[in-house]
Amino acid sequence: MQRLDLKVSGLIFCLLLAGNAMASNPVSRTHSYNGLALTPPMGFNDWAHYQCHISQRLFVQTANALVNTGLAKLGYRYVNIDDCWMARYRNAAGHLVANRKLFPRGMKWLGAYLHAKGLKFGIYEDAGYKTCQGKPGIYGHIQEDVRTFASWGVDYLKLDYCYPPDNRFPGKNFSQVAHLVYAKVSRALRHSGHAIVFSCSPPAYVFGKPKLFAQVMSWIGSVCNLWRTDDDIFDAWKSVLANFNGNVTLGRFSHPGGWNDPDMLEVGNRGLTIREQRTQFSLWAEMAAPLLISTDVARLSPAALKILSNAAVIAVDQDPLGIQATLIKQEGSVDILSRPLINGDHAVILFNKGSKRTYATVSLKQLGLNPGRYRLQNLWTKQITWTHRRIAAEVRSHGVVMYRLHAIP
């Protein structure tokens, strides 16, 4: 997706959304519409780091790196190709074809290579006339393109929304047209004979427009497995923070098989400090977001690999209850989030947005927990402590303290 200007900050937008149109737009699904993606997808997507600088070699090297580093065993199994993979025109039969200079062996070969590695194959298209980079879109070719993807062994379809077919639906607004088009693709995917996770983009195109955003969110979970909620992320702290702010209050839409997607992980890239990378990873896990790495996986630093390999934080993201965290409290520059987990546990994050180290506290009562004694495991330092009243910690600038709480009988 091309970057959009943030006309309204994420946090202000969410406050408007909560107080305005949401009451008249109930969520239309509380379960996976197709039985897939019962935990947030994990893997790789090239766009945030490479954009159009892609090739067959890149995805082969990435697949090998996911396996060789042990990331695949931790759940990073999707290898997703974004825009720019296809030729500028369809072939004489009207079928999509790969750019042969970039992918000389074609997409069916690449899908087979990924599957032989125990990985999953993801691909990109657009619901409109053209992709954001001017390649052929799916509109007018839905059935044949879905059949093509299934024949290639595609396991994940990211469907963008540049160049929408608004002119084909006079009198209908953005949400109504998007619903019709995405629902048609969704039906085709369900009947393709192959299990394909469906990633959708319409909410990101009306981010900052509360009424339209509310309308899109009222149906998105009935036809998609995950959906972009924010602007395209890029390798800078302000972008990570904006997408966090835009996504953090949308938990009522999230459920197993239907995930709010604040976009890709910047872990491993140079625009964030190691602390900021650790923070993004923690916040995305707390929000039950997809964990899609967008960096040079084959050249991950030991520090970045350590972040991505934190099994305790991954377990929070992949928790089978599938409940996104709630923003419990804001105390100065600190946001405090809590998320219920399986077996009665809770994941709690103290997140310091500010430029100075600060001290933050939250009581068990504020977290909605019953009185009693709790075991606290710091998911980054591994330190174990106990509490029966409150959680308190000093949090560094742009950092998090992340705990897993377990009630002691």
344 C-beta neighbours (distance < 10 Å), count: 11
Residue 231 designated active-site: no
Residue 232 designated active-site: yes
Catalytic residue among 83, 126, 155, 160: 160
Catalytic residue among 232, 263, 319, 345: 232
Q: Is 327 left (phi over 0), alpha (psi -120 to 50) or beta?
A: beta
Query: Which residues form the catalytic set?
Result: 160, 232
